[in-house]
Every structure is written in structure tokens, then in C-alpha cells.
Amino acid sequence: MFRRIKFKFLFLAGALAIIVAFPMAAWALNYQVQPGDTLWYIAQRFGTSITDLKAGNNLSSDVIYPGQNLTIPGGASPQAPDYTTLQQQIQNYLADKPGTYGIYFKDLASGQSFGINADTPLPAASTVKLPAVLFINSLVDQGVLDWQQKLTYNSATDYQGGSGILQFSVKDGDQFTLRTLTTLAITTSDNIAYNMLRNFVGKGSIANYMQSLGGQTVFPGGQNLSTARDMAIYVQAALNSANTSANGRRLLDDMANGIYNEGIPLKIPAGVTVAHKEGFVWGSPGDVGVVFGSRPFIITVLSQNVPDPDQGFANIATITRMIYDYQENLAGK
């Protein structure tokens, strides 16, 4: 049966390894670990990898401590690959598939990207919960909101069936903290949690925030439509937030521990962390996120008029695996 709730979580086996677009020059640096630092955060900041950090500092685990001094290995700036072949491979795969797919890919090592129908407005479904939660995070970071602030459930404005767990037990007057609601909106794609957050901060405020990040197709005509390119902007914003904010790092962790994993992560090898947000309305499966392989990348896929949703998510998984294999080959794996 399509979209069975598989209550299984992708627990992180280790830290997230990110290679940023602009690595440091090829020399070693010394860095003192600060509270809240993780190896993946330090790797992202200095353009190296967790493997090189551990090797260069004789670390046997991912555990680091505030005040610890680390040597940051240098690395040459990566050359920009030619993704023409990969793009054609994906187009060939989709040529006989019913429906319209919007795809955007970005290599996080070089910044190279390409799109297929990347600017076509398509149903965003629950992928819109990502920029909404990112907006809440930004307000908490600014001190405008507090995670312990509670919102009160009102069935007249907040109820929605479909995804999530609140629908099975919530009743009018129940209160939930912002922290709880944002976590549920991402990890279980809870529609009620999202509605409570959206109604609290205002759909217009969320739209303004999405536009401030660079989004071009933002609730056109009031519809929940977006584009693959815009969704990649929001995924990149989540990565940028993780570089500077503990709340941003928590958001990525939530994205890596969701209960729906039928799209981007499905065919990625075990042990490779995938931080993503799925979305679905009938005929329009979608998924947006980051695959933290040897050469990490952003992949966003939205769709429309896909008659078989199971096959639609399978197509997303196959496309992601094509990209993953291509990236691993570039990394020499």
C-alpha cells in the first residue's frame, strides 16, 4: 500500500560530513573546539571532510570536546565537473515516464548545478514545511520567539488529516511548544503541527521569508506551488543555518530522522546520511534534501500528473541513486 507509515527512524550513525563550495587554501590551520561544535560543522566551515579531520588529529571516534585543539587539513579547490552526461542520463530515464518532473541538482564541492524543468511551478505539498520551520528557527535565533512558547490547538483552524500523529489524539485546548511542533512538522510531516505554526506566524510572513531567501514562486495565487530551483534555495539555506546555528544543526538532524523515506534515501547505501523532506498530494510526489556521500549534493524533485505515487517515489529514488553513483565516481570511490 502506498505511503505505509513505517515508524522507523534513520538514526545518525555518525556526524554529517559536508564539503562546501569554497574550501580553505591548501595549508593546515589550528582550531579550538567551541561549545556546540561537531566534526561535520567544523568540516563544513573549513572545507575539509570528517575523514581527513579524524586522520589528521588521530581521532578514533566522532566525539570532540570544547577547548580541544584540532589541526585543520587543507585541500585544493575542487575542479568543476561536467554534468552534461548525468543530466542527459536523467532525461533519458524520465523520457517514457508519465507526468512532469521538476529537478534541481547542486554539487556542494564545486557549486556546479543543473536543472530539468527546474522553474516549472509544481505542487510543493509538505516540502513547504521545510522553509516554514526554517523561518521559525530564524525567529528563535533572533530572540523574537522562544522554543518553550506554547500554542493552543483549535480544531476549527488547525485540524487536517493525512500525515502526522497529532490527528489521532489532539483535542481543543491542548498546548504544544514551538519546539515540539517544529520537530513534528519535519520528522512526521505532521499537518496539524504545520498548520498551528503557519497560523501563528502567518502565511504571509512565511512567504516574505521565502522570498527573502530568493524564492521566486511563492504561493502564487494562494496555491501551495513551488519549483525545484526554489526548493534547492531553501535546502541551501538550511545548510547555511547549520553552519552558524545550533537550531540549524537540529533541523538537519530532524530531516535525517524522518519517518518517510520512500524518495531520496530509498536507494542510497546504508550508512550514508540523507537529510530531506518528502511531500505528497495525489499525483505529485516530491522530495528535497541533501545526500552526504563522499561528494555531497543537494537534490530536489517535485512532480505533477504522476498516476502511480509508489512509482513516482521510486523514480525519485532512482534519479538520486544515479546522481549518487556519479558523485562517488568523481570522488574516486
State the SS3 of 114-126.
EEECCCCCEECHH
Average pLDDT over residues 129-140: 98
* pLDDT tens profile 221-233: 999 999 999 999 9
pLDDT at residue 3 greater than cutoff 60: no
Helix (H, G, I), strand (E, B) or coil at 33: coil
For residue 9, pLDDT over 80 is answered with no
pLDDT of 29: 61
CA dihedral sign of residues 40, 46, 52, 58 = negative
Region 38-56: mean pLDDT is 80
Least confident of 62-76, 130-144, 199-213: 62-76
Q: What is the rounded CA–CA span in Å between residue 204 and residue 37?
A: 34
Q: Where in the chain is the domain with CATH 3.10.350.10?
A: 29-72
HSE, side-chain direction, 13 A CA sphere, residue 53: 28
Above 80 in pLDDT, residue 13?
A: no
Assess whether pLDDT exceeds 80 at residue 45.
no
pLDDT at position 166: 98
Would you place residue 2 in the very low, low, confident or very high pLDDT band (cuts 50, 70, 90)? very low
The yes-or-no verdict on residue 30 having pLDDT over 80 is no
Residue 121 C-alpha from the chain's centroid: 19
Given a cut of 70, is residue 235 above it in pLDDT? yes
- Read off the pLDDT of each residue in 267-295 and give the average, rounded to a whole number: 95
CA 69 – CA 174 distance, rounded (Å): 47
Please give the pLDDT value at position 67: 81
127 neighbors 287 (Cβ within 8 angstroms): yes
Contact 130, 186 (CB under 8 A): yes
Q: Please tell me which residue, 305 or 73, carries the higher pLDDT value.
A: 305
The pTM is what?
A: 0.80
Q: Which of 18-32, 35-49, 103-117, 278-292 has the lowest average pLDDT?
A: 18-32
Spatial CA neighbour of 166 closest among 184, 187, 149? 184
Q: Tell me, what's the pLDDT at 79?
A: 57
* pLDDT attached to residue 49: 81
Rounded mean pLDDT, 161-171: 96
> What pLDDT score was predicted for residue 81?
87
Rg of the chain (C-alpha set): 20
The pLDDT tens digits for 56-105 are 899 988 888 888 888 877 543 345 789 999 999 999 999 999 999 999 99
Under a CB-based contact definition with an 8 Å cutoff, are residues 120 and 284 in contact? no
Judged against a pLDDT cut of 60, whether residue 247 lies above it is answered with yes
Percent of the chain whose pLDDT exceeds 90? 70
Q: Which CATH superfamily is domain 29-72 in?
A: LysM domain (3.10.350.10)
**Topology of the domain covering 84-330:** Beta-lactamase (3.40.710)
Domain with CATH 3.40.710.10 in the chain: 84-330
